[in-house]
């Protein structure tokens, strides 16, 4: 799954017990080979790190401030639209005609 990028060959040092576990998974056909197993493990770890980083950044947000911003934006939208989301008569559209 290189998505148009070349596949690179590298050498790694890995704990023997981890390699035994990978070999067991390969034997059970969970992975085609060691490389595929290690690639999948690295890919999953990178995805988890991205999600963790996103969660840390989201935790920095002030919920009251975010709610106020959302309500402000919704309030501006309801000035142009009626209660059912339809444009009010004479309301100006954001889009140029």
Quick: pLDDT tens for 72-97.
877 766 666 666 666 666 656 555 54
pTM above threshold 0.85 = no
Residue 38: its pLDDT value, please?
Answer: 96
Q: What is residue 92's DSSP assignment?
A: P
- Taking the CB of residue 80, how many other CB atoms lie within 10 A of it? 13
d(CA 21, CA 37): 10
The b/e string for 56-65 (b: 16+ C-beta within 10 A; e otherwise) is: eeeeeeeeee
């Amino acid at each position: 799954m290189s998505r148009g990028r070349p596949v690179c060959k590298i050498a790694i040092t890995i704990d023997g017990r981890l390699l035994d576990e990978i070999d067991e998974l390969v034997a059970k056909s969970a992975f085609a080979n060691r490389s595929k197993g290690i690639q999948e493990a690295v890919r999953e770890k990178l995805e988890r790190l991205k999600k963790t980083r996103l969660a840390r950044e989201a935790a920095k947000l002030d919920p009251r401030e975010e709610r106020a911003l959302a309500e402000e934006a919704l309030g501006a939208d309801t000035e142009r639209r009626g209660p059912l989301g339809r444009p009010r008569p004479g309301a100006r559209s954001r889009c140029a005609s």
